[in-house]
Amino acid sequence: MTPDRRTARARRAPRLTAALVAVLTLGVAGCSEDPNSVAAQAKAGDQKGYISGDGSVETIAEADRAEPVTMTGTLLDGTSWDVASTRGTVVVLNVWGSWCAPCVAEAPDLQKAWEGQQAKKAPVQFMGIDFREEAERGAAFVKKAGITYPSLSDEAGLTLLRLQGKAPTVPTTIVLDREGRIAARVNGPVSATTLTGLVDDVVAAS
């Protein structure tokens, strides 16, 4: 090898090393879990830095609604539940977790909306979906918060797969019509006033 070739090779070596380091760094970053993901927040359980939806409301015209939601599971008290048993009533599904600060903050509003529907004897059922936490922990929160409607235990995080892509964040609140189809959704925290209005509209239209 001539002196000129050895010099050129020596100059290229640092560049190749730097490029390799950059590729390896990107690879490690790509394999790391996003600290703002729902799964990471659930694991942390500290309610810090949580990013949820902005509370935007989506309503779906009756002609545009998808197939009825199918969902079965076990309530926090160990009772089996099937959403098919609620056909003929309007159902409110609220995805929550005690590790999620916005979920904790909206809990009183959900309870207020539930009590309002009960007072009117409306054909409405509320069901929580306790996402990514142990049933015992979820039950303790429900008792402390004074929530009187039931919740499904979804420690594995699989129940959300039944919500037709409409629950990308926690909290999410979904309203099913009497046929079990998704009629409305709130992506993020919901107020009692907003939820009551959505439910009343679905009840009236059913």
> What digits encode the pLDDT tens for the residues 119-147?
999 999 999 999 999 999 999 999 999 99
Q: Which two tokens stand for residue 191?
A: 């107020």
pLDDT at site 38: 44
CA–CA separation, 76 and 71 (whole Å): 15
Q: Cis before residue 68, ω within 30 degrees of 0?
A: no
Buried b / exposed e along 38-70 (16+ C-beta atoms within 10 A) = beebbeeeebeebebbebeeeebeeeebeebbe
| Residue type (1 letter), 149 | Y
Cβ-proximal residues to 144 (8 Å cutoff; 6+ apart), any chain: none
Query: Model pTM?
Result: 0.76
The distance of Cα 111 from the centroid of its chain, to the nearest Å, equals: 18
pLDDT at site 206: 74
DSSP string across 141-184:
HHHHHT--S-EEEETTS-GGGGGTT---SSSEEEEE-TTS-EEE
Query: pLDDT, tens digit, for every residue of 84-105?
Result: 999 999 999 999 999 999 999 9
| Cross-strand bridge partners of residue 176 | 91, 182
DSSP string across 54-70:
--EEEE--GGG--SPP-
Based on C-alpha coordinates, what's the Rg of the chain?
24
Burial class (CB in 10 A: 0-12, 13-18, 19+), 17: exposed
User: Residues of the chain whose pLDDT is less than 70?
Assistant: 1-52
Beta pairing class for 182-187 and 56-59? antiparallel
pLDDT at site 156: 94
pLDDT at site 55: 84
pLDDT at site 51: 55
pLDDT at site 26: 31
pLDDT at site 52: 63
DSSP string across 88-99:
TSEEEEEEE-TT
